[in-house]
Chains A and B, each alone.
Chain A
């Protein structure tokens, strides 16, 4: 049963003259993976910091688990920051224990779970080693363990896949899916649209401190309509040159991607192509990829 985990209403955060987040509103539900997308410097980390209770909004309302001061529910939140760190000269086990204690976990329970997670990450033999002995990818897995050890109801992963090898990425995706099945809420921020497209149920795209697009992935894609056609045809050039039908054509190796003009209809284009006597071997309406939406929206804003 999906419950409201986070409610953000007209939240604004300023640093001096700079507005990092500008009247942002969105909702996040349990049992769903929420993709928080946007270019670097869009305000993602600032928003996340407000959700975990590190900073507070200057204006607007923010509720996490129905609590307007997120620091009161910090123990139910797991957070993997984009800027990651571990104590350099401390044993892996001791570090995880400390972070678990800060989340209110007893040391006995923590030890049990540490064994489980290290085993799962195939890092058991590193338990007594120090951070300086770990590779970067290993350290990142340890940090992931720190974020999930206290079995949080809300897990926030800021750019979790950067610097991980493909096997580890698949591994994390598997764990995220497991948590989702347990009705946890997962937010992850990324600018890798392919991964987001694969994982997310809902997305929020922000740019320059403001919301650009939000909603379920399905809705977002549908609202963008089927404006792109994958076309393999001969003798179609004349029709494709009509400005009232086609905005632009991108040539691929053996096919073309046709972007429909503003007011044009795909069926209209198909009819015109047939009438013009073009030989069509493929005519497929493409869903816009998240990447297309991202590029269109973000570069559109820039203009």
Chain B
């Protein structure tokens, strides 16, 4: 069985390389970094923002302070008391409201003084609340050293909107308590109704579906490219000629696909095992933090494997085909655009499934060749599709794989022995016919 020698060779070639080791451990680490770094960065508390608020009406500033402090209830008494406070900087949340007397100054003078303060760095920003703040046309102006800080801008904008709205409602004779009732957000919870009509908690499966899709997409494209470059190496270095004089093209191609596929599975197995390990140990903390493990049935897990393999053989044979037809790795890169695009499209189609796993669009993309290896596993995490649909899609995929492998193995030998020029479409058609 020469195919075993080929499988062993391809497998070892990938797994015994240090890049495999790095990929296995670095990729999940990178994933974590991408997932958590933005959250961390945005949660870092910077220096408090020193701000001067010019509020001739005296009504908005206290509310602004209250809203930005994040405290829910400040009675009107307190607000009034605040109003009487004198010459004191008030520290609220991430903001320090710097006191500034503007009573006897004209607008021009105020602007000049404040600009100077900002440019000296004494304060970071100043906010001018118009006297006519209740009008629709009223213009609120923020002058800031940190005008590009969208987080800061939107915090101030949001707080201002709330403050002005609250003042307007108060004027419409709505009490502070009613006000709270009126502008508060509703309580909202999502529960999922399962197949048997049972009620389930939460939307956890959305994330599982997304992660599964991303995962399959990533592994397919990484190992598809691996097949592509392995084939091109054998063609470019003319090793193909020795190989074909020792074993059948079908054995060589299949051996390569199986070997690379096993290497991919090895990597996935390491990832899954280490994830399971981590989850097992952190479970008590996760439960304490209100996390729930998403429910995935054993059948679904097996089907992930089946679809991964179907997807792998579909795409990897296309990559092998491309590799055998082009003359160098650059050309291979250009042509691999086609399968990569199909994969990427299938990945994006999956969002439709995440929104509605039972739509007819979801049905078709989870059956159709090329997209179903990505789509069906996601559908299965969202909703258990009827068994016939799953079997039907597996059948469609099996036929696709057989068809592509059949075409690929006919083209493979001729393509691999053709040096110096790229195969043209009519030529390829002739090869398929003549085999």
Contact = CB atoms under 8 A, between A and B. Distances in A.
A75 B246 CA distance: 7
A79 B233 contact: no
Most chain A CB neighbours (cut-off 10 Å) among B9, B12, B233, B243: B9
Nearest to A51: B245
A87 B233 contact: yes
Given A54-B413, A90-B13, A98-B9, A103 B246 contact: yes
B178 interface: no
Interface string B227-269: 0000001101111011111111000000000000000000000
Contact of A86 (B9, B239, B417): B239
A89 B133 CA distance: 73
Nearest to A58: B434
A85 interface: yes
B5 A54 contact: no
B242 A87 contact: no
Interface of A: 16, 49, 52-55, 71, 74-75, 77, 79, 81, 83-88, 90, 94, 98-99, 101-104, 143, 146
A248 B241 CA distance: 46
Nearest to A156: B245
A270 to B, nearest CB: 53
B245 A88 contact: no
B245 A79 contact: yes
B243 A102 contact: yes
B2 A85 contact: no
A146 B238 CA distance: 14
Contact of A101 (B5, B234, B244, B419): B5
Contacts of A103: 246
Interface of B: 2, 5-6, 8-9, 12-13, 233-234, 236-239, 241-248, 413, 417, 419, 430
A143 B245 CA distance: 14
B5 A87 contact: no
A102 B238 contact: no
Contacts of A81: 238, 241-242, 245
Contacts of A79: 241-242, 245
Contact of A102 (B6, B417, B419): B6
Given A55-B417, A86-B239, 10 more contacts: A71-B248, A75-B246, A83-B238, A83-B419, A85-B242, A87-B13, A87-B233, A88-B233, A102-B243, A102-B246
Contacts of A146: 242
B237 A88 contact: yes
A85 B246 contact: no
A281 to B, nearest CB: 54
B245 A54 contact: yes
Given A54-B245, A77-B245, A102 B5 contact: yes
A85 B238 CA distance: 5
Contact of A85 (B8, B239, B248, B430): B239
Contacts of B413: 54
A84 B238 contact: yes
B424 to A, nearest CB: 11
A99 B242 CA distance: 8
Contacts of B239: 85-87
B245 A52 contact: yes
Most buried by B among A49, A81, A90: A81
A102 B247 contact: yes
Nearest to B414: A55
9 cross-chain pairs, A with B, having the tightest CB-CB distances, nearest first: A85-B237, A102-B246, A83-B238, A101-B5, A85-B238, A81-B241, A52-B245, A85-B239, A79-B245
12 contacts: A53-B245, A54-B244, A74-B245, A85-B238, A85-B241, A85-B242, A86-B239, A87-B13, A87-B233, A88-B233, A102-B243, A143-B242
Given A71-B248, A102-B246, A83 B6 contact: no
B235 to A, nearest CB: 9
A276 B417 CA distance: 63
B348 to A, nearest CB: 36
A99 B243 CA distance: 8
B310 to A, nearest CB: 28
A54 B241 contact: yes
A277 B242 CA distance: 64
A257 to B, nearest CB: 41
A94 B17 CA distance: 13
Nearest to A147: B242
Nearest to A77: B245
Given A77-B245, A81-B241, A102-B246, A54 B233 contact: no
